[in-house]
């Protein structure tokens, strides 16, 4: 059975019907793009009747379809976008247009079918898993060099996820296409979720974002699946699931070094971190959704991104730690005393405002939340993330408070321009590091990621270098090259292949 990628448009003409009335079929065209699933019918399943106001709502649990070649479709929870009225062939025709958020290609199912397992193909996963499948050997001969390439078939890696009563498997498949003059080998990575007992499709749809978030936080890039296939209880075929995902980005990394943390970085801690992630996820699902939407975005306005990151950090602290100055029961008496102390002549709306502030007066400030989050990390991580500077943390808070409350007394303290860009880069990394630390990734491994060759790590290193040299222009820490100029010999003038003059500087003793 062919598979249908989420990132490729798809169009087909089929005969469509409602499951309760399979005898009545309507020809229609199905159109799929990552941002839309639509069905344009030549007639209607719900004829207009009586007074028409133009805002009538029509929806079904399913619309099923089949092509002449036997290809099957199930459109899940479609709703009518619009209709028109035409007169043709001596009768009134009402072409309808439906939209849906989910489509199953390759099977006729219920609107929440029972599924034995779900498999997700993820671009870049085969590299991230750090399991090379191609081995090359070279055998010199008298007059030739023989190169032998071996493409391995690797067994799946299986992990038990107690929180889900399921197994999670990682698999890498390889396809080789030799033609006598060239060899093309493609490796593809999958992860598959297999519960102890088959579950409704909605169960898997809750856990696919969780697994995507785990991989994305580790890899430092969005690791969205580009293909989702289902396996039923009694079917050998694997129908494809197409869903609207207009904002999805896909990993394009082909070199292991450019991930923030690759699978090999975890060593023996990987399964422990994976298990912990799914234990923690129910409590962080909402805040993590905000975090992942920010980390996956690259076109936000800087001020919007900065405020969103601060909100995500506050949310992380709220679900992970107790954020109160004193026990809630003890604060009740304090709050009652403060409310009673409000003067009687205070207007009702002002009184309501004061009572609201008193109600939340036991919650620690954002400044304290951020400080506690940073203090939960070891000094090496703090130094990499923000130079372990309490002053910089204070400027982050002042910037957030200014753009939230427009307090002009903070105007001179806010970060703007390039400094705001630097703050955003640091906050993105801080958010990632906190999630990784929460699931038990060793801080030494996280430090390795922060000092690695990923784009995120290299930008942090660059920021720290710029700030060091601004404070001390003679600081040469991190220099990648030293060039010493001396007396130049006229013979040391060459031209590169583009015809531009290039010069080699020669010291007076002739050394270069």
Which pLDDT band holds residue 512 (cuts at 50, 70, 90)? Answer: very low
Query: What percentage of the chain reaches a pLDDT higher than 70?
Result: 90
Return the sign of the alpha-carbon dihedral for residues 20, 25, 31, 36.
Answer: negative
User: Rounded distance, CA 208 to CA 203, Å?
Assistant: 9
Is 135 a residue whose pLDDT tops 80?
A: no
Which pLDDT band holds residue 99 (cuts at 50, 70, 90)? Answer: very high
Residues 154-186: b if buried by 16+ CB within 10 A, e if exposed: beebeeebeebebbbbbbbeeeeeeeeeeeeee
Residues 100-122: b if buried by 16+ CB within 10 A, e if exposed: bebbbbbbbbebebebebbbbbb
Residues with Cβ within 8 Å of 407's Cβ and at least 6 positions away in sequence, in order, are 401
SS3 label, residue 192? strand
Is 396 a residue whose pLDDT tops 60?
A: yes
Which pLDDT band holds residue 499 (cuts at 50, 70, 90)? Answer: very low
DSSP per-residue letters across 137-181: EEEE-SS-EEEEEEE--PPPEEEEEGGGTEEEEEEEEEEEEE-SS
Q: Which of 372, 216, 363 is CA-nearest to residue 289?
A: 216
User: Rounded distance, CA 192 to CA 21, Å?
Assistant: 36
Q: What was the pLDDT predicted at 133?
A: 75
Q: What was the pLDDT predicted at 496?
A: 44
Beta bridge partners of 117: 231
Asked if residues 276 and 441 have their Cβ atoms less than 8 Å apart, the reply is: no
C-alpha distance across the termini of the chain, in Å: 64
Higher per-residue confidence, 182 vs 366: 366
Give me the half-sphere count of Cα atoms (radius 13 Å) on the Cβ side of residue 251.
29
The model's pLDDT over 311-363, given as tens digits with 9 standing for 90+, comes to 999 999 999 998 898 998 899 999 999 999 999 999 999 999 999 999 988 88
Higher per-residue confidence, 51 vs 178: 178
User: Rounded distance, CA 337 to CA 341, Å?
Assistant: 6
Q: What was the pLDDT predicted at 493?
A: 47
Residue with tokens 């003067």: 343
Residues with Cβ within 8 Å of 143's Cβ and at least 6 positions away in sequence, in order, are none
Asked if residues 31 and 82 have their Cβ atoms less than 8 Å apart, the reply is: no
Domain boundaries, the chain: 10-105, 114-280, 300-323+364-471, 482-512
User: Rounded distance, CA 60 to CA 72, Å?
Assistant: 18
Task: Output the six-digit token pair for 501.
Answer: 């003059």
Which pLDDT band holds residue 501 (cuts at 50, 70, 90)? Answer: very low
Q: What is the DSSP pairing of strand 96-100 with strand 91-93?
A: unpaired
Beta bridge partners of 167: 160, 194
Beta bridge partners of 184: 177
Q: Quick one: how far is CA 144 from the chain centroid?
A: 49
DSSP per-residue letters across 376-412: TS-HHHHHHHHTT-HHHHHHHHHHHHHHHH--GGGGG
Residues with Cβ within 8 Å of 226's Cβ and at least 6 positions away in sequence, in order, are 5, 6, 7, 121, 122, 123, 250
């Amino acid at each position: 059975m062919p598979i249908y990628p989420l990132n490729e448009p798809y169009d087909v003409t089929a005969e469509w019907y409602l499951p309760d009335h399979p005898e009545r079929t309507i020809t229609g065209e199905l159109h799929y793009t990552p941002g839309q699933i639509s069905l344009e019918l030549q007639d209607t399943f719900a004829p207009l009747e009586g007074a028409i106001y133009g805002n009538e709502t029509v929806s079904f649990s399913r619309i099923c379809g089949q092509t002449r070649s036997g290809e099957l479709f199930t459109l899940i929870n479609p709703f009518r976008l619009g209709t028109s009225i035409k007169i043709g062939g001596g009768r009134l025709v009402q072409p309808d247009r439906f939209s849906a958020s989910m489509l199953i290609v390759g099977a006729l199912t219920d609107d929440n079918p029972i599924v034995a397992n779900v498999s997700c193909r993820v671009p870049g996963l085969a590299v991230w898993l750090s399991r090379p499948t191609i081995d090359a050997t070279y055998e010199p001969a008298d007059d030739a060099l023989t190169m032998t390439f071996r493409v391995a078939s690797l067994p799946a890696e299986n992990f038990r996820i107690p929180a889900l009563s399921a197994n999670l498997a990682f698999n890498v498949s390889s396809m080789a296409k030799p033609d006598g003059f060239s060899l093309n080998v493609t490796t593809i990575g999958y992860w598959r979720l297999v519960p102890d007992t088959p579950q409704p499709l909605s169960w898997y749809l809750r856990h696919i974002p969780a697994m995507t978030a785990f991989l994305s936080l580790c890899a430092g890039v969005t690791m969205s699946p580009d293909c989702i296939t289902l396996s039923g209880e009694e079917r050998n075929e694997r129908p494809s699931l197409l869903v609207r995902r207009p904002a999805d980005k896909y990993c394009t990394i082909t070199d292991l070094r450019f991930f923030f943390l690759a699978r090999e970085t975890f060593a023996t801690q990987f399964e422990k971190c994976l298990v912990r992630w799914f234990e923690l996820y129910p409590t962080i699902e909402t805040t993590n959704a905000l975090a992942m939407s920010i980390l996956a975005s690259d076109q936000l306005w800087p001020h919007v991104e900065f405020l969103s990151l601060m909100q995500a950090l506050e949310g992380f602290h709220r679900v992970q730690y107790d954020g109160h100055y004193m026990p809630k029961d003890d604060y009740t008496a304090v709050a009652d005393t403060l409310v009673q102390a409000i003067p009687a002549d205070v207007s009702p709306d002002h009184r309501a405002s004061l009572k609201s502030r008193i109600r939340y007066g036991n919650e620690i400030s954002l400044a304290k939340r951020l400080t506690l989050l940073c203090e939960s990390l070891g000094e090496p991580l703090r130094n990499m993330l923000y130079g372990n500077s309490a002053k910089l943390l204070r400027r982050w808070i002042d910037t957030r408070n200014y753009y939230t409350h427009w307090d002009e007394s903070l105007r001179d303290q806010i970060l703007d321009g390039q400094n705001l860009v630097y703050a955003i880069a640091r906050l993105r990394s801080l958010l990632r590091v906190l999630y990784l630390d929460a699931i038990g990734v060793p801080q030494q491994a996280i430090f390795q990621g922060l000092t690695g060759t990923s784009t995120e790590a290299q930008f942090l290193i660059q920021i720290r270098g710029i700030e060091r040299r601004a404070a001390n222009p003679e600081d040469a820490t991190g220099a990648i090259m030293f060039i010493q100029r001396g007396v130049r010999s006229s013979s040391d003038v060459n031209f590169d292949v583009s015809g531009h003059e290039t010069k080699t500087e020669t010291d007076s003793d002739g050394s270069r």
